[in-house]
Structure 1
């Protein structure tokens, strides 16, 4: 591996960034995070980690951080608009720049989706500055194109496209919904036949992926990040039960059976009607491996229980869930 020792993180104190700071510290880096200071800094008293208050949408703040740190590596966790990434790749043109993109940049359809084959979403100019869920994928795709354009100009810029990320400190609580259900109830309702396949990545593995791409990735390339062994939603519940030393009765319900109670399959976190899988061969070629599912789920489940995670606020309420289960069992 190449020898680098200073890293600047745009963002880095909440979920993915929090674990990536740890990975870079373990690899011997001095790390500086640039945040707006709106969340608690878990590294406030940690040797080897500094924090600068700054807004990534303000170019002068990025330039000040660059001049103070002179980073070998920059990891950009919070680029949501193409203009922000264009500015960042310009400001950090002398560093190794890694943009945290998303599997949502792909136009779904290929199974698996591949970095150099699957189409990216188009992004109209008027979409670039929007903040809607509907434009998230197109904006991430356009951010990736900004990374590629910078690489063509000589910047050592790369993109990492994680699929859904799960692990300790996940503030979205999407996987935490299922952990809470298994921990608190014997019977848990799952849409479809339980075979929903949404590729995921354990957050510690993603942190390692970002480190490997930062050091050994090829400028102008994108790298998918997801578990090397994908597993279904139904299998997730069994793994959670094993981790918590309990049992779970997975109750499946078709779209029609759910509709009888005005419930849509998409009301359940992590559900996808069609397989959403990516190839991870490019990342594996850098020596990257993923944690075995049972181990990753166990650590995540125990962390969510300890933290009292219950799931997103908009999650299906337990009363409705029980009504569906009772109807399916003729109760």
Structure 2
């Protein structure tokens, strides 16, 4: 009989790729979620679906009793109490893997290292919040719940990805850049193009989850990120190559962006302070990242098939006004 993986979440982005990763490794998989989104595995014989709300402990406990999974992957634990409940319910599983975040780190260090770089504090009011401002705090407290569970004998571990990109990314952050680069000859890039922010390809997150479930140590956190960390200007070049187009980036300072009522932080993926995760701990388990050429080919292909154009960035009209101000539009 094949091993059984339970994926809490599992139909949208990271969870979707995680289900595929475990399937291809020979596991039977059950997806647990509320069923609010289309199930891409509805016709897959080795994928079952159990409907329930992960924030309702009785639903999750019922799934645990009915399924007794070998591996549990928690894609949608957004509050510390979610992790405390899951590590109790699945205490007898061979592995429980919590998807944390690189945003859990509280100190700006280059690089950020597991067990060395401090995590964010999480006061009580943040632990029960659901706003973006407390996301990193809640993920950090979820990590602490994993460590506490491991101290009780649970084989619980966590994965810390930075911003994730790839096929089926519903956030629109990476789509913004693909759409601009593929659609326009000239685009605005914030700053001088040297902004450094670690990203990670979604399929690599999925493979890291399985690697940690199979080879990881209880109570450990594992950073996961691309093998090479391009600066933003280099990302523009890499995406243009993947799209098969030429693009002319125009770099704009905070002062120049201010002339059209915009700032550096308005652009997706911009981060003022460098964000780099050390990934040697995960690599020591035998994990390897995908090349950017392969990752971007798959990402661009799926983007073209979707209707996504990106969001949360300056609209094209504003961008063209700035290009005109900077004297780059004929």
Tell me the TM-score range normalised by the shorter chain: over 0.9
Q: 1:5–1:72: 8 Å Cα contact kept in structure 2? A: yes
Instruction: For residue 132 of structure 2, give the secondary structure of its aligned residue in structure 1.
Output: coil
Q: 1:241–1:248: 8 Å Cα contact kept in structure 2? A: yes
Task: Give the C-alpha shift of residue 265 in structure 1.
Answer: 0.6
Instruction: For residue 109 of structure 1, give the secondary structure of its aligned residue in structure 2.
Output: coil
Instruction: For residue 230 of structure 1, give the secondary structure of its aligned residue in structure 2.
Output: coil
TM-score scaled by length of structure 2: 0.97
Q: 2:187–2:249: 8 Å Cα contact kept in structure 1? A: yes
Map of 1:103 onto structure 2: 102
Structure 1 runs (4+) deviating above 3 angstroms are none
Task: Give the C-alpha shift of residue 330 in structure 1.
Answer: 6.2
Matches of 2:6 and 2:73, distance apart in 1: 6
State yes or no: 1:70 paired with 2:68.
yes
Q: 2:53–2:59: 8 Å Cα contact kept in structure 1? A: yes
Tell me: CA distance 1:258–1:108, structure 2 relative to 1, closer, same or farther (3 Å).
Answer: farther
Map of 2:191 onto structure 1: 192
State yes or no: 1:89 paired with 2:91.
no
Map of 2:279 onto structure 1: 280
State yes or no: 1:243 paired with 2:232.
no
Task: Give the C-alpha shift of residue 67 in structure 1.
Answer: 1.8
1:66-117 Cα distance to aligned partner (Å, 9 max, x none)? 1221101000000000011101100000011000000010014110000011
Matches of 1:267 and 1:73, distance apart in 2: 39
TM-score scaled by length of structure 1: 0.97
1:213-242 Cα distance to aligned partner (Å, 9 max, x none)? 011110000000101111111111111111
Task: List alignment gaps of at least 5 residues for structure 2.
Answer: none
Map of 1:16 onto structure 2: 14
Map of 1:7 onto structure 2: 5
Map of 1:162 onto structure 2: 161
Tell me: CA distance 1:35–1:64, structure 2 relative to 1, closer, same or farther (3 Å).
Answer: same
Tell me: CA distance 1:78–1:330, structure 2 relative to 1, closer, same or farther (3 Å).
Answer: closer
Q: 1:243–1:302: 8 Å Cα contact kept in structure 2? A: no
Map of 1:255 onto structure 2: 254
Deviates more, 1:159-168 or 1:3-12: 3-12
Instruction: For residue 40 of structure 2, give the secondary structure of its aligned residue in structure 1.
Output: coil
Instruction: Give the number of aligned pairs.
Output: 328
Instruction: For residue 309 of structure 2, give the secondary structure of its aligned residue in structure 1.
Output: coil
